[in-house]
Amino acid sequence: MIKWLRWIAVLAIVAMVAAACNGDNGTGDGTTTAPPTTTEAGTTEPPPEPTTVGLVYDIGGRGDLSFNDSAAAGHDQATQDFGIEPQELEPNQGGTNREELMRLLADQGTDLIIGVGFLFSETVCKVAQDYPEVNFADVDGFIDATTCEGGSDLTEDSNIASLLFAEHQGSFLVGAAAAMKSTTGHIGFIGGVEIGLIQKFEAGFAAGARHVDPDITIDVQYISQPPDFSGFNDPAKGKEIAAGMYDGGADVVYHAAGGSGAGLFEAAKEASDAAGEQRWAIGVDSDQYQSAPPELQPYILTSMLKRVDVSVYESIAAQVDGNFVGGYLIFDLARDGVGYSTSGGFVDDIVPDLEELKAAIISGEIEVPDAV
Amino acid sequence: MNRSLRLVLGFLAPVAALVFALLISSLALILIDKPPLDAFQSMWSYGIQTNSLVSMVNRAGPLYLAGLAVGIGFKMNLFNIGVEGQYRLAALIAASVAAAVSLPAPLHILLIILVAMAVGGTWAGIAGVLKVTRGVHEVISTIMLNFIATGLGAYLLATFLREPPRPNDLIISTPDIPASGRFPSLNPVLGWFGIETPGDLFGFIIVSLFVGFLFYVIVSRTRFGFDLRASGLNPQAARASGVNPNRMIVTTMFLSGAIAGLIGLTDLLGFFNAYTLDFPTGLGFTGIAVALLGRNHPVGILLGALLIAFIERSAQILDLEGIPKEIITIIQGVIILSVVIAYEVVRRLIEAQEVRAAAEATKGREPEVVTT
């Protein structure tokens, strides 16, 4: 609750600052035609044109209850707060037209174009070179000189911002929570697809759990191998793997598997019913306690929050203010870009310990590994 | 008379199907309160821009090859659903071989083409051999082989064929193909006509057209093509006249797979330069629709590929106009269904007309025409 209030307060302040700064910057050269206003002298002068922000989702798009929806939430919030002109596109099923969609938006005079997902990194790198007057951001996408031909390492002056997250830090905290709550000394991790990004979650989770209990047993399993990305959307397999882990003695299981996580929650309920004692699941990306059906909520211990919405919102806010900053923007614990949720109150008793760990990570006292 | 009637009907059938598809999708648009004329209008005006036309041709190239690959199987009643797996595996291995060797440009490209055809052909040939030796229906085996190709490709890409990962980079890909292995673009040709585009017109289009020409020559002008068509029309008769059905099945599956192997090269050699996680998928399945649209004729398949490519490209504008782009899925689905029905109606019309003509011709000679 307090977290919520703080968040609203931050939004309000940003909104006021933005409104104050946005007095007369008609920098956008969009194609919108608003009726001109007549000033006292009788001359007409065009009103400031709204900033146009284009979002290109990854396959799945709005409504995936996960990654894309989180970006959409940031976009919606910014639309509401700043009166920007929002545009949203989604690639076709084969993902063959990412570049064309970015160019389409750029040709329309869009001021800021945000690619949602690391698969956009090469596309953003390429297209940004052809449209130096347009700003680009890529959620999760690391872009440097080797990403594409003609690319360069990003600086503050680049027209590209890589929006990166310290998922390992957030995962460390839920890993610690898992170890504190486990009575069997045995926990599990389910990854959606075995790629570097998801291994970052695994590394942080394992480090956090071992920090609390060095002897803890950690089962690790990935649902699919790249380039098969079905692991992010396969609840049936997620459930099967989770059931196996609970059967094998694990009593807390964390997932970083997008839509497959729904299967984990069901497995946690069934395992709890069968064993007659509590089995926990840990959610990811958003506060999954909030979106879960009521009968599954009692099994969701906490969720590792990855605030994609914050990163999108802040990028848009900066663009509206006229001080878009390129380069590598790291959304970490210190910036509340990652964290853990407390909905349901299941971790209330260990919040002081988790906050202590959080402070230690922010201060650099604990260094969390970001690779397995 | 008969011949020209056939031609007119053969032309009218797809046009009628297209009109019918537009009517049905208009209905869908009206149901969701969107003006259909506006939608088609903006699709058309966006679709005929120079950039869109270039993109349409780029999309049509691989679709044409996919249609040909499926079409050659259809010619002898073999349904190769495995084009999807064949082209992806072929593209992966061709990309790896291409990156591993260094040769002068024409030889390098020739090698890539041969490797891709060999891999695609072999993979499809497995289904042919299974059918001949074990009686496994090719629909079953090619679908299964799709899954195996996906899994095998994922494993190879993640292990042996992967470029050593760079820190922070999440994209998994094969090493880049050196410049000598890239297919030059056709932009200079466009330049002669004073056309400039931001993207490339892929040179591999030429190869696609050449394969279409070869398809025509082989099917219509060679002994093999005759045997192929004969086996498709009447296997018993073909066998009685000395055609070895087993050899035909294996050869045709190999040819179909060899053409399928080329599908991915358009994008690989023109755009990606490496097999990456975001390599286009789904082209093989769309190829089935293209072959159906084109009635397995090389010119018909070409028109079908261009139509699908045009629809896909022009649909990109819809989301910006606030119209769900999913409407084109309806258009495509209805076109394919109604084309198949229209062709069947035409076939029956022609058959009825032939029966009448035959009846007329024999009227004087026989006292009664017995019809059953």
Where along chain A do its domains lie? 48-165+309-334, 167-305+342-363
Strand A280-285, strand A300-306: pairing:
parallel
Burial class (CB in 10 A: 0-12, 13-18, 19+), A65: middle
CB A113 within 8 A of CB A56: yes
Instruction: Give the per-residue pLDDT at B171.
Output: 73
Q: Specify the CATH number of the domain A48-165+309-334.
A: 3.40.50.2300
Q: Is B329 on the interface with A (CB under 8 A)?
A: no
Mean pLDDT along residues B68-93: 94
- Nearest chain A residue to B198 by CA distance is A130
Residue A360's closest CA among A172, A187, A165? A172
Count of structural domains, chain B: 1
CA atoms within 13 A on the CB side of B92: 29
Gap between the Cα atoms of B161 and B174, Å rounded? 6
User: What confidence tens digit (pLDDT) does each residue in B164-219 have?
Assistant: 776 666 677 899 899 898 898 888 888 888 877 777 889 999 999 999 999 999 99
- Nearest chain B residue to A87 by CA distance is B320
* Contacting residues of A for B282, CB less than 8 Å apart: 93-94
In a domain, B189, yes or no: yes
A contact test, residue of B56, B170, B316 with most A CBs within 10 A: B170
What DSSP element (H or E) covers A56?
strand A52-56
Contact between chains at B169 and A147 (C-beta distance less than 8 A): yes
* Contacting residues of B for A130, CB less than 8 Å apart: 198
- Nearest chain B residue to A121 by CA distance is B171
* Contacting residues of B for A99, CB less than 8 Å apart: 199
In a domain, B192, yes or no: yes
User: What confidence tens digit (pLDDT) does each residue in B104-158 have?
Assistant: 989 999 999 999 999 999 999 999 999 999 999 999 999 999 999 988 998 898 8
| CB-closest option in B51, B151, B169 to A142 | B169
Q: Is A52 on the interface with B (CB under 8 A)?
A: no
> How far, CA to CA in Å, does A23 sit from each of A20, A135, A322?
6, 21, 11
What DSSP element (H or E) covers B331?
helix B327-361
CB B59 within 8 A of CB B313: yes
Instruction: Give the per-residue pLDDT at A162.
Output: 93
Question: B 284-323 residues with CB below 8 A of A?
Answer: 312-313, 316-317, 319-320
Reported pTM: 0.78
Q: For chain B, give the percent of residues with pLDDT over 90.
A: 45
Q: Is A232 on the interface with B (CB under 8 A)?
A: no
- Please report, as a single letter, which amino acid is at residue B275: Y
Range of the domain at B241: 61-294
| CB-closest option in A103, A108, A229 to B198 | A103
What pLDDT tens digit does each residue of chain A (372 aa) get?
Answer: 445 555 555 555 444 444 444 333 333 333 333 344 444 444 455 556 788 999 999 877 787 777 788 899 999 999 999 988 888 898 876 677 888 899 999 988 899 999 998 889 889 999 999 999 999 999 998 898 888 888 888 888 899 999 999 999 999 999 999 999 999 999 999 999 888 889 999 999 999 999 999 999 999 999 987 767 788 888 999 999 999 999 999 999 999 998 889 999 999 999 999 999 999 999 998 889 988 899 999 999 999 999 999 999 999 999 998 889 999 999 999 989 999 999 999 999 999 999 999 999 999 999 999 887
* Contacting residues of B for A93, CB less than 8 Å apart: 281-282
| CB-closest option in B59, B277, B316 to A226 | B277
Mean pLDDT along residues B302-306: 94
> How far, CA to CA in Å, does A194 sit from each of A58, A217, A313, A347, A348?
18, 20, 29, 29, 32
CB A142 within 8 A of CB A167: no
Chain B nearest CA to A15, separation (Å): 26
Contact between chains at A108 and B276 (C-beta distance less than 8 A): no
Gap between the Cα atoms of A135 and A320, Å rounded? 11
Contact between chains at A228 and B168 (C-beta distance less than 8 A): no
Contact between chains at B170 and A92 (C-beta distance less than 8 A): no
Chain B nearest CA to A131, separation (Å): 11
Instruction: Give the per-residue pLDDT at A96.
Output: 75
Chain A nearest CA to B11, separation (Å): 30
Instruction: Give the per-residue pLDDT at B79.
Output: 94
Q: Do domains A48-165+309-334 and A167-305+342-363 have the same CATH topology?
A: yes
In a domain, B276, yes or no: yes
Q: Is B280 on the interface with A (CB under 8 A)?
A: yes
Q: Is A335 on the interface with B (CB under 8 A)?
A: no
Question: B 248-267 residues with CB below 8 A of A?
Answer: 267
Question: A 109-148 residues with CB below 8 A of B?
Answer: 118-119, 121-122, 130, 140-142, 144, 146-147
How many Cβ pairs closer than 8 A exist between chain A and B? Answer: 85
CATH topology of domain A167-305+342-363: Rossmann fold (3.40.50)
Q: Is A330 on the interface with B (CB under 8 A)?
A: no
User: What confidence tens digit (pLDDT) does each residue in B8-59 have?
Assistant: 777 778 888 888 888 998 998 899 888 888 889 989 999 998 888 998 999 9
Instruction: Give the per-residue pLDDT at A19.
Output: 43
Chain B nearest CA to A96, separation (Å): 5
Chain A nearest CA to B342, separation (Å): 28
* Contacting residues of A for B283, CB less than 8 Å apart: 94
Omega cis (within 30) before A227:
yes
In a domain, B86, yes or no: yes
Instruction: Give the per-residue pLDDT at A273.
Output: 94
In a domain, B41, yes or no: no
CA atoms within 13 A on the CB side of A133: 10
